[in-house]
Amino acid sequence: MSIVDTPERRQLRELTRAFVTREVLPHLDDWERAGEVPRALHATAAKLGLLGIGFPESVGGSGGDLLDSIIVTEELIRSGGSSGLVAALFTHGIALPHMVAAAGARTGGSLGGRLGGTASPADDSLIERYVRPTLSGTMIGALAITEPDGGSDVAGIRTTARRDGDHYVVNGSKTYITSGHRADFVTTAVCTDFPGSGELTLLVIDKGSPGFTVGRRLEKLGWHCSDTAELSFADVRVPVANRIGAENTGFLAIMQHFAAERLSLATQAYATAQRCVELAVRWCRDRETFGRPLASRQLIRHRLAEMHTRAEAARSYVHDVAARVAAGEPVVTEVAMAKNMAVAACDHVVDQALQLHGGFGYLRDAEVERHYRDARILGIGGGTTEIMNEIIAKGMGL
C-alpha cells in the first residue's frame, strides 16, 4: 500500500470527488465567466472539512498533513475541477501558514518553524481573528508579496512599514494578488528598513483600512474563476498586534513556506496532466475519422501512452518529495526539481491533449481548453522555472 493510498486517504478522495460533482461541476463555467467563485463555496468546503485539511485542529483546521492537502488538490482537478479553482478556493493555503507557524509555540501547529521565538499573545490573537474564521469559511485571506517592479526578487521588496507608536504606517503596492478582490485581509510582506534592504516583516492588513485600495481586476490568460488584483497602500495604519512573529523575520517565514506552495503547484500540474490524459483517451475512443476510432491508430495509442507515462512519473516523484518534506527533511533542491518536472509533463500533455481533440479542443465548450489555458501559469507562480533551475544548480554545487 502506498503512503498516499491508505483507507483514510481513499475516503478523503471520495469526499473531494463528491464535493466537486455536487458543488462545482454544475457551476464552474459560470464562475469562469464571472471571474470568481462565490463566498458560499468556502463555507460549504469548510463544513465538509476540506478547507481545513493540513491545518491542526488546535487552530480550527481538520488535521492531516501536506500529503492530505495534496490528495485534495489532486482529486479536485481529476474530478473535473481546475487549477484555477484550487487557486480561488484554497488561497488560505498561502495566506495562513505564517500565522499558524508563529503561534506554534502555544498551539502545537506543525506547518513550519516557529518565528521569532516564543509565541506572543498577539500571535494567538491572529489565530482567533483570522485563522479560525477563514478555516470556517466565513473569511477569505490572500498573500501579497509580488510587486510591480519586483517579480521573483523577494528580498528587494519596496513596500515600507514605518513604526509609529502602536502602529505601522504602510506605503507601497502589490500586484498579481490571488483572491485580492474577495479577500477580507491580506498577509502582506513589507520592508521595515529602507526599500530593498531585505529586512522584511509580515503584517495582516484588513480590507477597508483607510488608504488601502484594491485596484482593477486583472484579466488573465487562464485561472478565470480566480480573481486577481492590484493593491496599493497609502499611509495605511496597521496595528503592531497585526504583525506575524517578530519584526524582520518575514523573509525567513516566506522561504519556509515556499516548499508547500511549490509542491501544491506541482500537484496541480501533474493532476492537470492526468485529467487531460483521461479526457484525451475518452475522446480518442469515441471520435471516429475515416471510419475508424482515433484510438485504433498506432500513432494515437503511442502518443497517449507517452502522455500517460509522463503524468504518472511526475505524480510519483512529487509524492516522494512531499513525503520527505512532511517528514521534515530539508529537500529544497528536490522540491524545485519536482515542480519543474511536473510542469514540464503538464505542458507537454495539455498541448498533446488539445491537439488530439482537434477543432473542438479550441472551443470554450471543451474542458481541455480550460486546462490548456490554466496550465501556463504553473511554471511562473511560486517561483519560475528559471528560478527553480537556479536552485537546482546550487544544489549541484554549481
Region 293-313: mean pLDDT is 97
For the packed helices 250-286 and 332-357, what is the interaxial angle rounded to 10 degrees? 30
- Model confidence pLDDT, tens digit, residues 225-278: 999 999 999 999 999 999 999 999 999 999 989 999 999 999 999 999 999 999
Answer whether 214's CB lies under 8 Å from 24's CB.
no
pLDDT at 119 (0 to 100): 52
5 — pLDDT class (breaks 50, 70, 90):
confident
CA distance 184 to 19: 25
Whether the per-residue pLDDT at 143 is higher than 60: the answer is yes
Gyration radius of the chain's alpha carbons:
21
- Positions marked active-site: 261
The SS3 assignment for 381 reads coil
Q: What is the rounded average pLDDT for all residues in the chain?
A: 93
What does pTM read for this prediction? 0.93
Answer whether 272's CB lies under 8 Å from 374's CB.
yes
Whether the per-residue pLDDT at 379 is higher than 50: the answer is yes
Sequential DSSP letters for 223-234: -TTS-EEEEEEE
